[in-house]
């Protein structure tokens, strides 16, 4: 008896099921990350304005420090997924362990840099005289959890590469819950103030890192993979991460320039910009979840040597990106008058918000394509191209954005510049995927 060949519709449905199975838990774990800061803010906010301001400065510094190393997740996902596709699970887990060891080394280096320079960093970030002591305290204590945070990134990449996004979701939920309980207990029960919040976060992060290590170590023992640090493997992980580091820094520069320009437009405009940027980031989580699924699936197909399968799933992922962008854009456009009052009642802020959010809504299908193609090329291990493309995008965006105040443009003009930035990214990524040069099969690129 011979099985009938799969029809395009059946193939699409199979890809859809796999995308949903990976993307939904990934979205949950992505959303859990900012909830850590929200929980800390809710607890510390009742201590006083100075403490909350200190938390804001310290949290911004910590978020920046950790987000720079997000390549630990992205590069590890691609490398592990390739080896899964090649049918070599021991090598896949071994590759993941190299990423985890690199995370520990980088975490130790960050601690060594942050502890002595914390007061200077807080001052450079503009903390007031009353908030600076609280910011320094929180930053120094929380820095001790950075190795665990980086291990979480690398181990998340391992599990994503193994096509498992559920475990990261469960760990994220457990970590958030523990963080909330510890914050209340240490801040108020033990009377430790902002230091108690920092220690609660460190303990929760270390517990998350330990949970991930238990899962990875069990997998390594089950498949006979070595747990010892391998200098060559760690070096290879670092080399794979450098282009993604350049990409991340370029993207951070775009966001920093946009915020600096908004600040030059006026208080109402920068307040509106922060609200728009917050919503834009939330929408990005939804699109990034689909991109994470793309990283894992594309890496597996290429590792298995299936060029045609990789191209088919890439096209299907792009369709998902466009559809998701259209839905999100429509929701933003229709719901603007409803949720704007939740953020502000100031008419001077509401005015720019109403029009600017329409620009964001229009740009969502573009963002959908960008996130998906970004994930596809990450899954293919095409980091050098992603770095080059983002540097070019930054070079084109910067003069346009900086010209907005000079040309008497407002917040709407700034966000049209942001849309231009996303359009440039879309074009550079589309040209690469259309060329087929990203398709390199085998257990390693």
- Cα 113 to Cα 32, 106, 110, 316, 383: the distances in Å are 27, 11, 5, 44, 27
Given phi > 0 = left and psi -120 to 50 = alpha, else beta, which region is 126? left
| Burial class of 35 by CB neighbour count within 10 A (0 to 12, 13 to 18, 19+) | middle
| Per-residue pLDDT, 149 | 92
pLDDT in tens, 146-176: 999 999 999 999 999 999 999 999 998 899 8
- d(C-alpha 261, C-alpha 259), whole Å: 5
| Per-residue pLDDT, 404 | 93
| Per-residue pLDDT, 432 | 96
Please, what sign has the CA dihedral across residues 143, 144, 149, 150? positive
- pLDDT above 60 (res 5): no
What mean pLDDT, rounded, does the chain reach? 89
pLDDT in tens, 256-284: 888 888 888 887 787 788 788 878 888 88
| Per-residue pLDDT, 30 | 80
Highest mean pLDDT among 8-12, 217-221, 265-269, 366-370: 366-370
Q: Which two tokens stand for residue 328?
A: 């999100």
Q: Which two tokens stand for residue 306?
A: 């299936």
- d(C-alpha 372, C-alpha 426), whole Å: 10
| Per-residue pLDDT, 272 | 83
- d(C-alpha 77, C-alpha 300), whole Å: 10
- d(C-alpha 299, C-alpha 86), whole Å: 10
| Per-residue pLDDT, 10 | 79
| Per-residue pLDDT, 207 | 95
- pLDDT above 70 (res 293): yes
Q: Which of 355, 342, 294 is nearest to 165 (CA)?
A: 294
What percent of the chain lies above the pLDDT cut of 90? 58
Q: Which long-range contacts (CB under 8 A, 24 or more apart) does 398-405 make?
A: 398/253, 398/254, 398/257, 401/257, 401/258, 401/261, 402/257, 402/261, 404/261, 404/265, 405/261, 405/264, 405/265
pLDDT in tens, 21-46: 888 888 877 876 666 666 777 788 77
Q: Which band of pLDDT confidence, cut at 50, 70 and 90, is reported for residue 339?
A: confident
The average pLDDT across 72-97 equals 92
| Per-residue pLDDT, 33 | 66
- d(C-alpha 194, C-alpha 210), whole Å: 25
- d(C-alpha 141, C-alpha 201), whole Å: 9
- d(C-alpha 80, C-alpha 13), whole Å: 25
Largest CA distance in the chain: 79
Task: Please check whether residue 81 is in contact with residue 163, taking contact to mean a CB–CB distance below 8 angstroms.
Answer: yes
Q: What is the 3-state secondary structure (H, E, C) of the chain?
A: CCCCCCCHHHHHHHHHHHHHHHHHHHHHHHHHHHHHHHHHHHHHCCCCHHHHHHHHHHHHHHHHHHHCCCHHHHHHHHHHHHHHHCCCHHHHHHHHHHHHHHHHHHHHHHHHHHHHHHHHHHHHCCCCCCCHHHHHHHHHHHHCCHHHHHHHHHHHHHHHHCCCCHHHHHHHHHHHHHHHHHHHHHHHHCCCCHHHHHHHHHHHHHHHHHHHHHHHHHHHHHHCCCCCCCHHHHHHHHHHHHHHHHHHHHHHHHHHHHHHHHHHHCHHHHHHHHHHHHHHHHHHHHHHHHHHHHHHHHHHHHHCCCHHHHHHHHHHHHHHHHHHHHHHHHHHHHHHHHHHHHHCCCHHHHHHHHHHHHHHHHHHHHHHHHHHHHHHHHHCCCHHHHHHHHHHHHHHHHHHHHHHHHCCCCHHHHHHHHHHHHHHHHHHHHHHHHHCCCCCCCCCC
Q: Which band of pLDDT confidence, cut at 50, 70 and 90, is reported for residue 7?
A: low
| Per-residue pLDDT, 346 | 76
Lowest mean pLDDT among 45-59, 249-263, 285-299: 45-59
pTM of the model: 0.88
- Please tell me which residue, 237 or 341, carries the higher pLDDT value: 237
| Per-residue pLDDT, 147 | 95
């Amino acid at each position: 008896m011979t099985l009938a060949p799969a029809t395009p519709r059946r193939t699409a449905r199979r890809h859809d099921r796999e995308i949903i199975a990976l993307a939904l838990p990934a979205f949950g774990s992505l959303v859990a990350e900012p909830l850590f800061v929200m929980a800390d803010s809710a607890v510390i906010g009742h201590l006083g304005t100075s403490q909350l301001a200190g938390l804001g400065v310290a949290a911004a510094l910590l978020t920046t420090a950790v987000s720079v190393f997000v390549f630990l997740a992205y590069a590890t996902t691609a490398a592990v997924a390739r080896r899964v596709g090649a049918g070599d699970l021991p090598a896949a887990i071994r590759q993941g362990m190299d990423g985890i060891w690199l995370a520990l080394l980088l975490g130790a280096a960050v601690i060594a840099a942050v502890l002595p320079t914390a007061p200077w960093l807080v001052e450079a970030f503009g903390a007031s005289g009353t908030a600076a002591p609280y910011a320094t305290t929180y930053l120094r204590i929380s820095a001790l959890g950075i190795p665990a945070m980086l291990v979480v990134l690398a181990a998340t990449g391992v599990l994503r590469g193994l096509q498992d996004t559920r475990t990261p979701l469960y760990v994220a939920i457990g970590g958030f819950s523990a963080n909330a309980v510890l914050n209340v207990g240490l801040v108020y029960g033990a009377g430790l103030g902002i230091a108690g919040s920092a220690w609660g976060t460190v303990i929760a992060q270390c517990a998350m890192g330990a949970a991930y290590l238990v899962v990875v170590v069990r997998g390594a023992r089950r498949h006979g993979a070595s747990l010892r640090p391998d200098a060559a493997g760690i070096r290879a992980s670092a080399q794979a991460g450098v282009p993604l580091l350049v990409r991340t820094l370029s993207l951070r520069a775009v966001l920093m320039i946009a915020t600096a320009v908004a600040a030059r437009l006026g208080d109402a405009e920068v307040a509106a910009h922060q609200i728009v940027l917050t919503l834009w980031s939330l929408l990005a989580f939804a699109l990034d979840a689909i991109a994470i699924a793309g990283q894992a699936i594309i890496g597996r197909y290429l590792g298995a040597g299936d060029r045609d399968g990789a191209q088919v799933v890439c096209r299907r992922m792009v369709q998902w990106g466009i559809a998701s962008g259209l839905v999100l854009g429509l929701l933003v456009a229709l719901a603007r008058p409803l949720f704007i009052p939740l953020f502000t009642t100031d008419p001077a802020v509401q005015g720019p918000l109403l029009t600017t959010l329409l620009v964001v809504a229009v740009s969502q299908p573009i963002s959908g394509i960008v996130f998906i193609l970004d994930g596809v090329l990450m899954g293919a291990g095409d980091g050098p191209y992603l770095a080059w493309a983002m540097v070019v995008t930054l070079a084109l965006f910067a003069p346009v954005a900086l010209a907005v105040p000079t040309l008497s443009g407002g917040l709407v003009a700034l966000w049209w510049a942001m849309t231009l930035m996303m359009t440039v990214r879309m074009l550079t990524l589309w040209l690469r995927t259309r060329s087929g040069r990203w398709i390199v099969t085998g257990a390693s690129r």
